[in-house]
Structure 1
Amino acid sequence: MSSIQQNIELITSQIKSAEQKCGRARDSVQLLAVSKTKPNQAILEAAQAGHQLFGENYVQEGVDKVQFFNQNHPELAIEWHFIGPIQSNKTRHVAEHFAWVHTIDRAKTAQRLNDQRPEGMPPLQVLLQVNTSGESSKSGLDAEQVFELAELISRLPNLKLRGLMSIPANVTDYDSQLAAFTELAALKDRLHALYPSVDTLSMGMSGDMEAAIEAGSTIVRIGTAIFGARDYANKS
């Protein structure tokens, strides 16, 4: 058994333990393996161990990986999530290659992704990025902007609104982590009342995963704990 497979099994066990501890339904939280900067071989090891959900932050790197696995390992049926910032000149690449986008925070981006989604592909599953920390250095919408953008997306046929995503402040205090995640979960519930397709909360990483799960996360994003330290020398 490879170390990557062992790491996935350990994290999956931790997720199941947190689900049980918090009274969540079994398998209600998905593990998204964040594979940015990681070579195809590392992703292949994880996929051959049975993992199918992978998240990429950099457009060209992600597209290259999607194409490689589509051409060489279509039997693995990998589901690719884009979880990084999207520049306007890169929306076509994202629309053409990914199944999910977690980081929509502008109407222009949503419109371009809709218009550039190829005919015959299923709608792009999208999350709105919310700035729960209020930090000016972080991307994301405030609560009022969430509802404005959700209304636009509800009218775009090639996008399907699934929920919210956040990158909260980097704090180690459990109560503070939980408070931020609970705020996002409440916003998701309000959104769900208007748009029944909203069922997803992408929140929680290695250092705050348990608090995220207690608050209602449905996708946790884990990278280093699966693949080891990242090498940013070749990112694109």
Structure 2
Amino acid sequence: MTGSGEQPDDETRRQELGAALDAVRDRIQRACRGAGRDAGALTLVTVTKFFPVTDVAHLIRLGVRDIAENKDQEASAKAAELAELLTPEARGELTWHFVGQLQTNKARSVARYADVVQSVDRPKLVRALDRAAGAAIEAGERTTYLGVTVQLDLEEGEHAGRGGVLPDEAAGLADLVAESAHLDLLGVMAVAPADLDPEGTRAAFDRVVEIGQRIATTHPGATWRSMGMSGDLEQAIAAGATHLRVGSAILGTRPTPR
């Protein structure tokens, strides 16, 4: 599948993406059958970072409705380009997810186009996003609250603190989101620690579900368990994921950013 280097023609690329998307959907179906789950209850979020907006347009035509980016400059540019490429009806069906580490000074920009910010990990960011979403609503740039998931830091030792709130602090951060005037608490998000075997990865995802369930006892609407990526989506489904964030298994090896 295409990564860096010369790009294929438009139709070849569409066929590549379609075949890869079908393969990922088949993996999801098989994993759901093995876990006794309904695949229709899961949302596939396609992570398109570093790939061109033409790929995003192909994916939308192939039925993808949830797109994720992790850098504001790239995400905002793609959202603006797609606004020109898609009909109002198609734009209305699309959900933009921001999944990267977010600086507070980018909150106002993200609030203009994102439907969900999955990487909320500190009180300062909650407050910045709340102000930004309120300003966007007032300016007519959005009509709904900004969806939020609390990102959990499952790493330990030297790798801890690279993104996400510590599990013991997750409930307090969720409370702060829920108390905000312009944010909608959707649930939790996490990335499994690196270098785990499948059993360890499954245990990490079980922990995410446990934390999410505790938060949901206070906030019943916080039902999202966003976890699982290209290499570990089967373990995430078995543990109870509701949203899968898949990039390379659909789009190929990421090109080197310029």
In the TM superposition, residue 232 of structure 1 has moved relative to its aligned partner by 3.0
Partner of 1:165: 189
Q: Shift of residue 6 of structure 1?
A: 1.3
In structure 1, give the amino acid aligned to 2:67. Answer: F
Give RMSD over aligned pairs: 1.3
Contact 1:172 1:207 in 2 (8 A): no
Whichever residue aligns with residue 112 of structure 2, its letter is: E
| TM-superposed deviation, 1:137 | 5.2
Partner of 1:175: 199
For 2:11, the equivalent position in structure 1 comes to: none
Cα deviation for residue 202 of structure 1 reads: 0.9
Cross-structure match for 2:90: 76
Alignment of 1:1-236 (within 5 A): 2-74=15-87, 75-77=89-91, 78-117=94-133, 118-119=136-137, 120-134=142-156, 135-136=159-160, 138-234=162-258
Q: Would the aligned equivalents of 1:32 and 1:222 in 2 still touch at CA under 8 Å?
A: yes
- Mapped contact 1:101–1:124 kept (Cα < 8 A): yes
The aligned residue for residue 3 of structure 2 is: none
Structure 2: 5+ residue runs without aligned partners?
1-13
Q: CA deviation at 1:187?
A: 0.6
Q: Which amino acid aligns with 2:148?
A: V
Shift of 1:157: 2.2
How many angstroms apart in 2 are the aligned matches of 1:26 and 1:222?
A: 15
Compare 140-149 and 212-221 and name the one that shifted more.
140-149
- Contact residue 132 and residue 180 of structure 1 kept, 8 A: yes
Q: Using structure 1 for the length normalisation, give the TM-score.
A: 0.95
- Higher Cα Rg, which structure: 2
Contact preservation (8 Å) 1:105, 1:141: yes
CA drift of 1:148 comes to 1.1
Aligned in 2, Cα 1:26/1:136: closer, same or farther, shift over 3 Å?
Answer: closer
Q: Distance in 2 between matches of 1:148 and 1:66?
A: 32
Offset at residue 144 of structure 1 (A) = 2.4
Alpha-carbon separation, structure 2, partners of 1:88 and 1:155 = 19
Partners of 1:95 and 1:114 within 8 A in 2 = no
CA distance in 1, matches of 2:193, 2:235: 13
In structure 2, C-alpha distance between the alignment counterparts of 1:95 and 1:26, rounded to whole Å: 30
Structure 2 CA distance for aligned equivalents of residues 159 and 179 of structure 1? 30
Q: Distance in 2 between matches of 1:137 and 1:159?
A: 24
Q: Distance in 1 between matches of 2:218 and 2:128?
A: 24
The 10-residue stretch of structure 1 (68-77 or 173-182) with the greater mean CA deviation from structure 2: 68-77
* Amino-acid identity (%): 28
Deviates most, 20-29 or 85-94? 20-29
Superimposed CA distance per residue, residues 66-94 of structure 1 (whole angstroms, 9 cap, x where no aligned partner)? 11112321342321100001011111111
After TM superposition, give the deviation of residue 172 of structure 1 in Å. 4.8
Whole-Å separation in 1 of the counterparts to 2:41 and 2:155: 25
Alignment gaps of 5+ in structure 1? none
Runs (4+) of structure 1 exceeding 6 A deviation are none
Deviates most, 193-202 or 165-174 = 165-174
- State the number of aligned residues: 234
Q: Secondary structure at the match of 1:71?
A: helix
